[in-house]
Structure 1
Amino acid sequence: MVLVDIHSHILPGIDDGSPDLETSLKLAKAAVDDGITHALMTPHHLNGKYTNHKQDVIKETKEFQQALDDNDIELTVFPSQEVRLSADIPEALENDDILFCDEEGTYMLLEFPSEDVPMYAKDMTFRLLGEGITPIIVHPERNNKILHDPQVLQQFLEQGCLTQVTASSYVGVFGKEIEQLSERLIDAGQVATFASDAHSLAKRESRMTDAYNKLAKQSGKQVSEQFKQNARNVINGDKVQLNWQPLKKKKRFWLF
């Protein structure tokens, strides 16, 4: 059974994820134990603190795959990036310094700043879509602006962007509010797939199996299997389509 993780930070020592190879190998083993067979290595890029150039990530991923093989850890890894929303994206594309989720350059992981969705975000996603690149907005449920005004996300879905919810968010690791928003987005069909966004052991490790088990129970096995298929489609550059609807308004309880 193929289970794909499209977002993880387990390459050693290049961003705020795994600090060293020993930790990376433990994280990889934990991912395999969690059922993951294939994973994109997605270090931060253009986020103001980390700039992980394309060729460096390709080299690091190749070396990590060798270390995995040497340690009999059955995880297949591919080079990619988590690209921060930035005015520098067009120049990075022009300089061939962006890694996508697939070899064809169809899907790109796009991260918004954690506290806000900048005014120019919609213009940037429109520009990317116009160039044949589909942004996958990562962990929107953990963006503070979207958390408190979830309708903000709809404008990007209307454009044709996709979204990815962190598995840990959906199972409550980051608190009830984030868990509930994850559930609302999924119920409205606004989420394409889960990813681990693994950074370290303990709180930030993979929780993919837990998330998929919960999804199957709450939304049905068909939805769970579609999430898994969507992740496979992303790394293969195949079509992913969301049949989404606007979020239902939360019920208000009035006291008289």
Structure 2
Amino acid sequence: MIDIHSHILPGVDDGAQTIEESIQMAEAAVKDGITHIVATPHHNNGAFNNYKNNIKIQVAELNRTFQERGINLQVLPGQETRVFGEMIEGLRVNEVLPINDDTNYVFVEFPSSSVPRYASQLFFDMQVAGYQPVIVHPERNKAIIENPDLLYSFVKKGTYAQLTAASVCGKFGKKVKKFSEQLIEANLVHLVATDAHNTTSRGFCLSEAYSEIRKNYGLDLVYLLSENAEDLIAGRVLQAEPPHHINKKKKVLGLF
């Protein structure tokens, strides 16, 4: 399996703090069946800044360490960037790092409780400039939970979204699990990843998430999601079914 979102780089954000913790995370990832993992440290979120070239250097160092330890896990460069109005300029000056460096996919994180009004125009401008925004963990965003049409409007215009495996498995609570299911049913998410930060409270459950999705929605969707992860790191176009609106009445009954 390919995990496209993780905080496995040591000492750069709220993920692994030491190389020993990175090694523990790598061993847990391999045990879960993961062969490739994208390191996506936080950037520009008010607490952490991790720039493109630094990430690439640290990823190369981590790959060397894993190789020396005989850990069969390949780390790829990425970045989880908090949305900001000058993202295109950030890409131009090598501040912002697309997934796997040479693709056009860019992970975008919203503040936990809001979606900036300028996001729609920013995403349009990014697409015109040749980049493809991917919204990470929308199921945990308060504004999107309260108004799923925010996400629908982005997806309808060609933006992709990534669901957290732990949300599917219920590790963020019943409400987030239920909303995750509604997003899946409405074709509003296209990728699943762990967003792992450690091996305890925020660990790896990608195989469990895929099993849950297979049980509820069938093997075809598991194939689509896992193939999208492969296509993402290769820079290929992702598969996406036409999105639907989430029924407001169903949302209220299911969540609140």
Q: TM-score, normalised by structure 1?
A: 0.94
Give the structure 2 partner of residue 228 of structure 1.
Answer: 226
Partner residue, 1:247: 246
More deviation in 120-129 or 5-14?
A: 120-129
Superimposed CA distance per residue, residues 199-247 of structure 1 (whole angstroms, 9 cap, x where no aligned partner)? 1121200110100001011000011111000000000001113112222
Per the alignment, residue 5 of structure 1 pairs with 3
Cα RMSD (Å): 1.3
Q: Which residue of 2 aligns with 1:114?
A: 112
Question: Quick check: 2:40–2:79 contact (8 Å CA) kept in 1?
Answer: yes
Amino acid corresponding to residue 156 of structure 2 in structure 1? E
CA contact (8 A) 1:47 1:86 kept: no
Pairing 1:147-162 to 2, within 5 Å after superposition: 147-162=145-160
Aligned counterpart in structure 2 of residue 15 of structure 1, from 9, 13, 16: 13
- Is the contact between residue 77 and residue 100 of structure 2 (CA under 8 Å) also seen in structure 1? no
Q: How does 1:66-215 map to 2 (within 5 A)?
A: 66-215=64-213
Q: Given the two structures, how large is their TM-score scaled by the length of structure 2?
A: 0.94
| Corresponding residue SS for 1:164 | strand
Write the distance in 1 (CA, Å) between the matches of 2:4 and 2:249: 31
Corresponding residue number in structure 2 for 1:58: 56
Q: Where does structure 1 lack aligned partners over 5 or more consecutive residues?
A: none
Aligned mates of 2:55, 2:120 — CA distance in 1: 28
- Percent of aligned pairs with the same amino acid: 39
Comparing 220-229 and 81-90, the one that deviates more: 81-90
Answer yes or no: is the 8 Å Cα contact 1:103–1:237 preserved in 2: no
Q: Unpaired segments of 5 or more residues in structure 2?
A: none
CA deviation map 1:147-198 (0-9, x unaligned): 2222211110121100000000111000011000100000111111100100
Q: Which contiguous aligned blocks of 4+ residues in structure 1 show a shift greater than 4 angstroms?
A: none
Query: Residue 90 of structure 1: CA displacement?
Result: 2.7
